[in-house]
Amino acid sequence: MGKWTNGEHEAPEPLEGNVVGTVIGGTLVWFVLFLVQLPFYGWFDEHGHTWWVWTCAAGAGLGCVGIWYVRRRDAAIRRAAAEAGPTDSGPAASSGSSA
C-alpha cells in the first residue's frame, strides 16, 4: 500500500473527451429508467421503494442542469481558444529568419 501513497507517482493527465455527449447519455439513461419504473409505481409504493422512481427523476433533472453547464463550458473553451488565435508552430514560424 505504501508504494501508492508515497507521492512518487505523477498524476495522469485528465481525459478530455466528448463531455457533452457523455452527460447527455447519462441523462438519457436516468430518464429512461424513470419512464420504465412509472408503470410499476403502485408496486414501489406498496413495498416502500418509491425513492427508486424519484431518484431516477432527480438524476434526469440534474442531468438537464449538467447538460446546460457542460454546453456553456464547451462554448467558453472554444471562445477562449478562438480569442487566443491559432498557434503556428511550423518550421517557418520557428526559424526566426526574416531574409
DSSP line for 59-84? HHHHHHHHHHHHHHHHHHHHHHHHHH
Q: Which three cell numbers stand for residue 47?
A: 413495498
User: What digits encode the pLDDT tens for the residues 10-62?
Assistant: 888 887 788 899 999 999 999 999 999 999 999 999 999 999 999 999 999 99
- Does position 79 have pLDDT exceeding 70, yes or no? yes
Q: How confident is the model at residue 99 (pLDDT cuts 50, 70, 90)?
A: very low
pTM value is 0.69
Residues 6+ apart with CB under 8 A from 64: 27
